Structure 1
């Protein structure tokens, strides 16, 4: 058995919905899955003013747990084409693991959410790669591994960099069936790679 952690930050729930499909794909390919979220850095007062719903009952991960997994799929929304502060704070807490090389050689992938088609889906991944590189973590892109990525009949998030959804600026659009199918495929594809590396 090989273990994959799905680690997310989701303010309005779009990424958590995508994560359910990611987990489905991982499990289809035989992975044992650990499901976690990173700690919130905003106060309850600020979250209330942003009309953010309550956080789901998903365990909060701490850096010391990361070495237990064989691979990681990180999911988060963009913040101006960049990693959100909550995920960055978690990454910044991994210095002790970096000193030991504890994550070197482990694979990781990314899935994401933006407000619009041109809101930085690929840039969000690109700006996260330095964290992986400094740890020696192997970035695993999704590739063009699903026909929905070539469907121009409707708005569909995602790219060869990973599964994605488009939420609208007010968060009113939920992940579509086609976006969720891409997420399942990314989970399944990633699990197969982790299994090979873990062997």
Structure 2
């Protein structure tokens, strides 16, 4: 069975909530799912001062284990329109895989969280694409495959680039039902592509 890793970094828990719906979509799409998180680089003292959420009880992925999967969905919040330092450190540790092109030809996609509608959801993915290009990983966008992406009646995270949520600057807003439905769609669509590539 095709194996997909869902890999997240989440400070306040929003990305992990979206990931749960991503996993549901992948499972509906008929693939095996491995659920992992990226190692924290901040101290417990700093995280406490930030009022960060407790880390979920899921394993931390060692980058050297990435070749075990047939594809990847990465979820993380934006930091000024790019990846958080923790995610950058994770990818910086994949140099050995890059020299071997061990991940070339595998699909990957992204999902994300921002504080506001204009906090950089699309540009966060855009600035992550060079990582995929250097590894030869195939970017799989969500497209407009869920009708909620056409809905302008309320604040809805996500775009053609991937599922997403709006957290508010203080983290008070939780992912909406529509945002979670978009995430399920992304999981389903990604599973379809991953199975075709693996065939």
Q: TM-score range by the shorter chain?
A: over 0.9
The DSSP-based 3-state class of the residue aligned with 1:73 is: strand
Matched, 1:144 2:144: yes
Per-residue deviation, 1:63: 1.1
Per-residue CA deviation, residues 23-72 of structure 1 (Å, 9 max, x unaligned), is 00000010100000000000011001000121111100011110010000
**Aligned residue number for residue 89 of structure 2:** 89
SS in structure 1 opposite 2:25? helix
Matched with 2:100 is 100
User: Shift in Å at residue 110 of structure 1?
Assistant: 0.2
Partner of 1:192: 192
The 2-side partners of 1:45 and 1:175 are apart by 27
In structure 1, C-alpha distance between the alignment counterparts of 2:172 and 2:156, rounded to whole Å: 15
State how far apart, in whole Å, the 2-side matches of 1:126 and 1:29 are.
26
Query: How many Å apart are 1:98 and its aligned residue?
Result: 0.4
- Cross-structure match for 2:78: 78
Q: Which residue is 2:169 aligned to? A: 169
CA deviation map 1:132-183 (0-9, x unaligned): 0000000000001010000111100000000000000000000000000000
- Three-state SS of the structure 1 residue aligned to 2:96 is helix
Q: Output the CA distance in 2 between the equivalents of 1:101 and 1:51.
A: 39
Structure-1 residue corresponding to 2:181: 181
Which residue in the other structure is 2:9 paired with?
A: 9
RMSD across aligned positions (CA) = 0.4
Distance in 1 of aligned mates of 2:54 and 2:111: 22
For residues 3 and 56 of structure 1, what CA distance do their matches in structure 2 show?
21
For 2:125, the equivalent position in structure 1 comes to 125
Partner Cα separation in structure 2 for residue 69 and residue 56 of structure 1: 21
**Residue in structure 2 matched with residue 154 of structure 1 by the alignment:** 154
Distance 2:80 2:184 in 1: 26
Q: Give TM-score, length-normalised by structure 1.
A: 0.99
| SS of aligned partner of 2:15 | helix
Which stretches of structure 1, 4 residues or more, deviate above 3 A after TM superposition? none
